[in-house]
Chains A and B, each alone.
Chain A
Amino acid sequence: MKNPAKTVALYGLLTALALILSWLEAQIPAFFAVPGVKLGLANLAVVTALYLAGAPCACAVSLLRIVLVSVLFGNSAAFAYSLAGGVFSLLVMILLKKAGRFGTVAVSVCGGVAHVTAQLAAAAVLTGTSALGWYLPVLWFSGIAAGAVIGLIGGELCRALTRAGRKGEKL
């Protein structure tokens, strides 16, 4: 991607996708009593960005999404949790992808686990209690499940987009 206009367009597109997915997920009522158990639909855009355009794009999409979501519909506490989860999961996913041995599913699963772990740590710091450790097993499994779903869809999305890109113009 040497064309800066294309780069900007792709970043903008993926950020918009992340925002829409965040909004969509917010419309689904919590189906599980433990806070933090959710699909993390917006990470679909981050995983796609990571595999389609690399780590800088994934960082941009993830951080922009977190800032924009908190400005648009969030509060400052939610911002801190999102940021902790988002940054740590990005870091883990970028490193795992760099390792080269893993596909989107494993990368996304580890990202999910990293996300919930960091959010729980942030919650423990903010509420000043260690009792939150009880939720780690529950959140851990939910992170694995959500990560697997996002990784599968993200992988398919990347393949489809790459195919489409080959048919038309190179991405």
Chain B
Amino acid sequence: MKDRRLRRADLILIAILLAAGVLMSLGAVLLSRDGGTVVVRVDGEVVASYPLSEDREAEIAGVNGGVNRLVIRDGSARIEEASCPDRLCVGMGVIRRAGQSIICLPNRVVIEIAGSGAPETDAVSE
């Protein structure tokens, strides 16, 4: 009865998926570099970029009148305040490594950490 519920093939498949997840996490950690620039996008367009090394606060105007307040402090960036209903972007915490991002879907705002190179680069993350 028990093996009908969880067959051998099930366990193998789940084990493969878990292993793939571990590999992905390892890859994400190993490939990460320290970030240099905070790039702000609204609706896919780059609207601003700030060096991660300078403390700063900025109001970002998202779509449909939405506002997100970006705070850069001690080499990391976060959204402190947002007008969106779910405020998931506030809950996403701080980011500091290249390729990390905070997304506010309702306001279509993406905060992204780029490497220390040119801020306009698009190939910051794998």
Task: Give chain A's interface residues, CB within 8 Å of chain B.
Answer: 30, 33-35, 75, 77, 101-103, 105-106, 109-110, 113, 123, 127-134, 136-137, 140-141, 144, 148, 152, 155
Would you give the shortest CB distance from A114 to chain B, in whole angstroms?
Answer: 10
The 8 A-B pairs of least Cβ separation, nearest first, read: A128-B44, A106-B10, A131-B101, A33-B91, A137-B25, A101-B9, A137-B24, A140-B21
Q: State the CA gap A114–B28 with chains docked (Å).
A: 20
Find the A residue at minimum CB distance from B122.
A130
Let me know if B126 and A133 touch, CB within 8 A: yes
Let me know if A129 and B112 touch, CB within 8 A: yes
Interface-forming stretch among B12-20, B48-56, B68-76?
B12-20
Let me know if B13 and A102 touch, CB within 8 A: yes
Would you give the shortest CB distance from A8 to chain B, in whole angstroms?
Answer: 31
Find the B residue at minimum CB distance from A141.
B21
Q: Which residues of B contact A35 (CB under 8 A)?
A: 86, 88, 92, 103, 105
Would you give the shortest CB distance from A88 to chain B, in whole angstroms?
Answer: 15
Let me know if B99 and A110 touch, CB within 8 A: no
Could you give 12 example pairs across A and B, Cβ below 8 Å? A33-B92, A35-B88, A35-B92, A102-B10, A102-B13, A105-B10, A106-B10, A106-B13, A130-B122, A131-B100, A131-B125, A133-B126
Would you give the shortest CB distance from A47 to chain B, in whole angstroms?
Answer: 14
Task: Give chain B's interface residues, CB within 8 Å of chain A.
Answer: 4-7, 9-11, 13-14, 17-18, 20-21, 24-25, 28, 41, 43-45, 86, 88, 91-93, 99-101, 103, 105-106, 108, 110, 112-113, 122-126
Let me know if A148 and B14 touch, CB within 8 A: yes
Q: State the CA gap A103–B91 with chains docked (Å).
A: 37
Known: A129-B101, A134-B28, A140-B24. Contact between A30 and B91, CB under 8 A? yes
Q: State the CA gap A148–B103 with chains docked (Å).
A: 28
Kindly list 13 other residue pairs between chains A and B, CB separation below 8 angstroms, not including A106-B10, A128-B43.
A33-B91, A102-B13, A103-B5, A103-B7, A128-B44, A128-B110, A129-B103, A130-B122, A132-B101, A136-B24, A136-B28, A141-B18, A148-B14
Let me know if A110 and B13 touch, CB within 8 A: yes
